[in-house]
Chain A
Amino acid sequence: MDTSSTPTHEPILSIRDLKTYFYTYEGVVKALEATSFDIWKGETFGLIGETGCGKSVTALSTMRLIPQPPGKILSGQILFNGTDLLQAPEKTMQAIRGCAISMIFQEPMTALNPVYTIGSQIAEVILLHQDMPEIPQPKTINPLTRHKIKKARTKRAFEKAIEALDMVKISDPQKVAYQYPHELSGGMRQRAMIAMMLSCSPDLLIADEPTTALDVTVQAQILDLMKDLQRRKGTAIWLITHNLGVIAEMCDRVGVMYAGYIVEIGKTEKIFENPDHPYTRGLLRSIPQIMEDRRRLEIIPGNVPNLITPPEGCRFHPRCPYATAVCSTAAPPLVEVEPDHCVACHNYATAKYAVAGVKENHGPATD
C-alpha cells in the first residue's frame, strides 16, 4: 500500500446490529439480521459476497434509501460522526447524502438523469450542499437581486462542476459538461458519477459494484482513479463487490457477507492468507485464479438459501462440511482469531486443521 493518508483506527461509520426486513407477497425476506462492522477514517473497506447476501441492502440502509414499503429497518444503530443515522430526521439525512456520505452505483446510465447535461447534474449537487462564500447572500428581499444572485451561484456551480470533471481525468471537461449521459461511454459516465459524488469532498464514499458493468481495462482505470482520489482527499471508501480480485487490489480491510450476516472480517492480507470461515475458504478456492495452473475448481455444494425461510442458527450450516449440532441452533458470534481478523463460526478451529473435504465435482443442483 502506498497511500500517504494511512487509515487511522478511528471509526467514521459504526454499524451495530442492523436488522432490515422486506415484507413481500411471498413472505418476509429477512435480509439483514444482526449486521455489525466499522469503517475507519480514510481506509478502503471492502464488502464482498454473492448475489442476495445483503451487501447492497446494508449500504442502502446506511443511507436510509430503503423503500419503506416493502422494506423496513427494524432495529440497530448506525453511528456517523456521532449521529445515529437511523434516528436522524429526514432533513439531516438529506444534508448528509451527497455531502458527507456519497454513493455511486453499478449502472451509471440509470443513475444519471438522461434529460439533463452532465454539468448541470453535478452543479445541482454542488448547489445543494456548498455555500459559495464568494457570492454574498442578500439581506434584502429584492426579487431582482435574488435572481441575480441565483444566476451567479448557478454559474459558479457549473464552473466547479467542470473542475470536478477535470479532477476525474476526463479529457476536455468543458465539452463533456455540456453533453448528455447517453453521449458518453460507460467508463466516462462512471467517472462523471464519481465526479458528482466527490464534488463535495465527502468523508465516506460508498461504491456499490462500481466497475461490474465495465470492461476490464476501463475497470482498471476507474479503480486507479478511485485510489488516487482517496489519496488526495482522504475519503474513506466502502467498496461493495463480488470480485475478489478487486478486493485484493483495493481494500485495506474486508468483510465477507453471507445470507445477511458478516461471516468474516479483518485485514485483507489476513483474510486471503488464512481464511477461517468455510464459506470464505470455498469462495477463494472456486476462482479460476489467473496464476494457478489448470485443475478442477472446488465448489461449495448447494445453493444460497431463501431468505424468507433461512436456515436456523448459522445460515451457512446446510452447505458446510464442518457443521455440527450447535450450528443448526445458534447463530455464531464474531470472535477475534488474531488481531484484525474476526470470524463468525462455531467450528473455525477444527475446520482450520481438517483436510479440505470440499467436493470436487460439479455437484447436483439441489434447490
Chain B
Amino acid sequence: MVHLFRKSLLSMVGLILILLLLGVALIAPLLASEHPNYVEVPTEQGTTRVEERWDIHFDRALQPPSLQHFFGTDDYGRDIFSMVVYGSQTSLRICLMVVAISMVIGIVLGGLAGYFGGVIDETLMRITDVFLSIPYLILALAIAAALGRSIDHIMEAMIITWWPSYARLFRGQVLAIKEQQYVEAARSVGASNSRVLFRHILPNSIAPLLVEITLDLGAVLLVAAGLSFIGLGASPGTAEWGLMISQGRTLMFHAWWYVTFPGLAILFVVLGFNLLGDGLRDVTDPKLRR
C-alpha cells in the first residue's frame, strides 16, 4: 500500500510540505534570527495571561527583503522571517489541538451512538445536531466579546463547532462495521462489548476518519487565520500568520512583503495538508486503485 503512495507525485509533495512545516516549527528558535519575549499581561477577568511581545526597532521599519532580513521588516521594525517561523509553531499548535480534541469527542460520542443504537443513538444525535447548527463565526465573536480575544478562545470556539462532523462520520462507520461477520465471530468466542469496540470496530472504522482529519488540519488553519485576520484571535503583537496579513493589509502597496510571506506560508501549509489528505484517500480507498 505504501508503494502506491510513493507513486503519486502530488502526495509526495504534500508530505514534503508538511514535513517542512514540522521541521520549521521544531527548530524555530534555531532558525529565526530574532526571538519574542513572553510577558504576563492582565486579562479582563483579573487573572494574567502570557503573551508574545516582539522587540520594536523603529529605525529599521518597513525594509524590503535583504540578507539580514530575508522577508523584510514590518512597520514596527520586526523581522518578518522570524515572525513567520515562530508563527509556524502557533499554527501547528492550533491545528493539532483543535483537530485532536474534536476527534476525541467525536469518536467517543459517535462510537457510543453507533454501537448501542436505540435511545442512546437518538439522544446523542440530537445533541450533535444542535452543535452542528452553531456557526463558528458567531460563536467566536460571542466568546471574544465576552472573554476577550485570544488564540485559546478561538480554539475553543472551533472545537465546539468541529466535533459534530466527526461524530457523524464515525457513527456511520461504526454502524457499517458492526454488521460485519467478524464482529459476530468475536462475540461468539466470548468477547465483551468493550473488547469488540476497541479491538474490532475501532481499527476498522478509523480509516476514513484519518483522511478527513488530514484535510481538516488545513481547513482549521484557514479558519484560525481568518478569525485572527478579523481581530478575534491572536492579540496584536503575536506572530500569527492571519494577524500579520491583517496588519499588512493597509501597507500592501508600500511593503508587499508584509502580506506576501505570511500568505505564502498559509498557502503552502494548507496545500500540503490537502495533497497529503488526497493521497491518503487514494491509498485507503480500495475501489480507486486495485
Q: Which residue of B lies closest to A70 (CB)?
A: B290
Give the residues in chain B near A25, CB-CB below 8 Å. 4, 289-290
Give the residues in chain B near A3, CB-CB below 8 Å. none
* A145 contacts chain B at the CB level, 8 A cutoff: no
**What 0/1 pattern do residues 1 to 25 of B give for CB contact below 8 A with A?**
0001000000000000000000000
Give the residues in chain A near B289, CB-CB below 8 Å. 25
**What 0/1 pattern do residues 14 to 34 of A give for CB contact below 8 A with B?**
000000000011000000000
CA distance A24 to B290 in the complex (A): 7
Give the residues in chain B near A24, CB-CB below 8 Å. 290
Give the residues in chain A near B290, CB-CB below 8 Å. 24-25
The number of chain B residues touching the other chain, given as a range, is under 10
CA distance A25 to B290 in the complex (A): 7
CA distance A24 to B289 in the complex (A): 9
CB distance from A60 to the nearest CB of B (A): 18
Give the residues in chain A near B4, CB-CB below 8 Å. 25
CB distance from A199 to the nearest CB of B (A): 33
CA distance A24 to B4 in the complex (A): 12
CB distance from B238 to the nearest CB of A (A): 48
CA distance A132 to B123 in the complex (A): 61
CA distance A25 to B4 in the complex (A): 9
**What 0/1 pattern do residues 325 to 365 of A give for CB contact below 8 A with B?**
00000000000000000000000000000000000000000
CA distance A162 to B290 in the complex (A): 41
Q: Which residue of A lies closest to B289 (CB)?
A: A25
**What 0/1 pattern do residues 241 to 270 of A give for CB contact below 8 A with B?**
000000000000000000000000000000
Q: Which residue of A lies closest to B4 (CB)?
A: A25
Q: Which residue of B lies closest to A24 (CB)?
A: B290
CA distance A33 to B143 in the complex (A): 71
CB distance from A361 to the nearest CB of B (A): 27
Interface set, chain B 7-48, CB cutoff 8 A to A: none
CA distance A25 to B289 in the complex (A): 8
Complex A-B: 4 CB contacts under 8 Å: A24-B290, A25-B4, A25-B289, A25-B290
Which residues of B approach A to under 8 Å, CB–CB?
A: 4, 289-290
Nearest 3 pairs of A and B residues by beta carbon: A25-B289, A25-B4, A25-B290
